[in-house]
Amino acid sequence: MPRLLYPFGFLLASVLLLTAFRSDDDLFELRKHFEIFGAVYEEITAGYVNDVRPAPFMRAGIEAMLSQLDPYTQYYDEADMADSRLWQQRNLGGVGITIGSRGGRLAVLAPEGDASAYRTGIRPGDVLLQIGESPTDGMTVLEANELLVGQPGTVIDVLVERQGEAVPRSFSLPRVRPGTNDVSWFGWLGPDSTDAIAYVKLDQFGDRSGREVKRAFRTLNRQIPLEGMVLDLRGNPGGILAEAVELVSIFVPSGSLVVTTRSRADNAIQEYRTDAEPYLPDTPLVILMDEYSASASEIVAGALQDMDRAVILGRTSLGKGLVQVFRPLPHNATLKLTISHYYLPSGRTIQSAQYSSAAATVAVPTRVDFTTPAGRVVRGGRGVEPDVVVDLPVETPIEAALRQESAFFLFANQWVSDRCDADARCTGTDEEMLTGFREWIDRQGFPLTTDLDLLFVEMQALAQAGGNDRVTGELAALKAVISQAKQEQLDTAADRILFALHEEIRSRLLVDQEMVRANLDGDVWVQQGRELVSDRRALAQLLG
């Protein structure tokens, strides 16, 4: 059988590309280990006792290497890229999670797109044990994604293992069609334009985001001169860096430093500055941000916070301060590679998580306190922290369990089918909806597993293993107490459950822009943003 010289030769050739960035000692180590890697690959594929399929074998090696790095560095082979294009052409829906191979297992990575599944309760680091009826043992990332996508409006069940928990968690994840517009809605806050408070909801940073946001504010400003602006970046996973810089340029002087990237390669530093005169340099601005706002969203919010130009309202952002680029590889493969860190104008980084292995370390900074031109203290290494924290009611365990089962999503399908006509006219009062929801939950037989239920299962297993009948009897009484507590939580959370149901129902009856507008009146974040941007004294105090 002929020996496979291509991988070995390609790896050696790749060494030459790195010579400009390496010392002689480093270059020797690279050559040495490239040669070892190529030799091991050739020996196994040529001489192993049974046939070895070169493609999956090489992919397993690549994914094992990448598992030593940050979760954003990923490899895509030709099939991955083709299938990604096919899914887009078929207009399929996704569940909103990003997965990768880590340590030979499929793990949930930090959100890089729609964060709906993360709001359901999925967390970065969760290990996928089962997708639908299929165990994930030996499953590739591509195969997992093929199972997760499907027709919008359907649901896929996943079973995950979470570190520190003995019992796996089950989630029912709705498949939703991705949005097509970066700005999903803009308009006036309040019943009309009397207060002249503009609102823009930006869902992602695509290739026209900066222009779309500017056009939205300009359209409103031409109607009535703006007295205040609320820019909503909640759940925005980021995107194109240049669009973030263009968006910032709407509000600050030309030539303002927005972000700096620093890479290890030749210690390269690149500055990104605004290059246009600001359209709205003085109009008060409040930015809404949550824990799913990432990357370019954090750059916009953090830069404007560092320049004392905007007040941030909401929750601390995700903390993704790493820059990725796509590198083409032979045979139409692609490597998404982390190459540098973002630094905001104050000098701080937004990267909040440290990734460390025997091979490499992405560390968070030791210095955390920085100052703005007005003397305000802003902190690095923990995402972008808000100037004003939104004080929301604590979600009860039963609400979290309902989201975990996608109960609001599924009930809305039935309610719209039974109660609404083609003209979006629906029958039924809120009381009827709540009663119907409770009855529907019972008929569906949802387990509605809370953290207390998981603890109960562990205690029950220990009691049964120990053969302690008395403890087993007391656990039965505890289970009844837990069940009663769930019913009481349903009563306590009735208003929030109704809001969630109405939100889901509206999403089936209204186009995207109409739905966003319809949800604003009951949105606590937006109402707080409107009040804050209207209070010039409070804004001045917050901005120093």
Query: In CATH, what class is 74-174?
Result: mainly beta
Task: Supply the pLDDT for residue 471.
Answer: 65
Q: Which of 212-221, 514-523, 533-542 has the lowest mean pLDDT?
A: 514-523
Q: Which residues contact 3 (CB under 8 A, 6 or more apart)?
A: 42, 46
Q: Which residues contact 89 (CB under 8 A, 6 or more apart)?
A: none
- Pick 156 or 473 by higher pLDDT: 156
Task: Supply the pLDDT for residue 15.
Answer: 45
Q: Label residue 519 by pLDDT band (50, 70, 90).
A: confident
- Pick 344 or 395 by higher pLDDT: 344
Q: Which residues contact 20 (CB under 8 A, 6 or more apart)?
A: 266
pLDDT per position as a tens digit, 97-145: 888 777 678 988 777 667 777 888 888 889 999 999 999 998 888 788 8
Q: Which of 65-74, 233-242, 321-330, 473-482 has the lowest mean pLDDT?
A: 473-482
Give the closest residue to 383 by CA, choosing from 305, 320, 442. 320
Percent of the chain past pLDDT 70, that is, above it, reads: 89
Give the angle subtended at the CA of 440 by the CAs of 438 and 442, to the nearest 5°.
75
Q: How close are the terminal C-alpha atoms of the chain, in Å?
A: 74
Asked if 108 and 160 touch (Cβ cutoff 8 Å), the reply is yes
The pTM of this model reads 0.83
Beta bridge partners of 59: none
Q: Is the predicted pLDDT of residue 281 greater than 60, yes or no?
A: yes
Average pLDDT over residues 314-327: 92
Beta bridge partners of 326: 336
Type of residue found at 145? N
- Lookup result for tokens 């359907």: 154
Q: Which of 76-90, 324-338, 417-431 has the lowest mean pLDDT?
A: 76-90
pLDDT per position as a tens digit, 481-511: 777 888 888 888 999 999 899 989 988 887 7
Asked if 279 and 218 touch (Cβ cutoff 8 Å), the reply is yes
Task: Supply the pLDDT for residue 394.
Answer: 78
Average pLDDT over residues 259-264: 91
Tell the CATH topology of 183-390: 2-enoyl-CoA Hydratase; Chain A, domain 1 (3.90.226)
**Spatial distance between the Cα atoms of 420 and 459, rounded to a whole number of angstroms:** 46
Q: Label residue 396 by pLDDT band (50, 70, 90).
A: confident
- Pick 114 or 538 by higher pLDDT: 538
**Spatial distance between the Cα atoms of 11 and 5, rounded to a whole number of angstroms:** 10
Length of the chain: 544
pLDDT per position as a tens digit, 76-103: 887 766 655 555 555 678 888 888 777 6
- Per DSSP bridges, beta strands 285-289 and 311-314 are parallel
Give the angle subtended at the CA of 100 by the CAs of 138 and 168, to the nearest 5°.
70
Q: Label residue 476 by pLDDT band (50, 70, 90).
A: confident
Task: Supply the pLDDT for residue 132.
Answer: 95
Give the closest residue to 543 by CA, choosing from 357, 305, 337. 305
Q: For the chain, what is the mean pLDDT? A: 86
Average pLDDT over residues 400-425: 88
Q: Is the predicted pLDDT of residue 320 greater than 60, yes or no?
A: yes
Task: Supply the pLDDT for residue 220.
Answer: 97
- Domain ranges in the chain are 6-52, 74-174, 183-390, 397-520
Average pLDDT over residues 402-426: 88
Average pLDDT over residues 451-479: 71
pLDDT per position as a tens digit, 161-195: 998 888 899 999 998 877 667 998 999 998 888 99
Q: Is the predicted pLDDT of residue 8 greater than 50, yes or no?
A: no
Average pLDDT over residues 58-79: 84
Task: Supply the pLDDT for residue 64.
Answer: 85
Q: Label residue 149 by pLDDT band (50, 70, 90).
A: confident
- Pick 363 or 282 by higher pLDDT: 282
- Pick 72 or 188 by higher pLDDT: 188
Residue 271 CA, chain-centre distance (Å), reads: 26
Task: Supply the pLDDT for residue 145.
Answer: 85
Average pLDDT over residues 40-44: 91
- Rg for the chain, CA atoms, rounded: 26
How many CA within 13 A on the CB side of residue 93? 15
How many CA within 13 A on the CB side of residue 533? 32
pLDDT per position as a tens digit, 220-230: 999 999 999 99
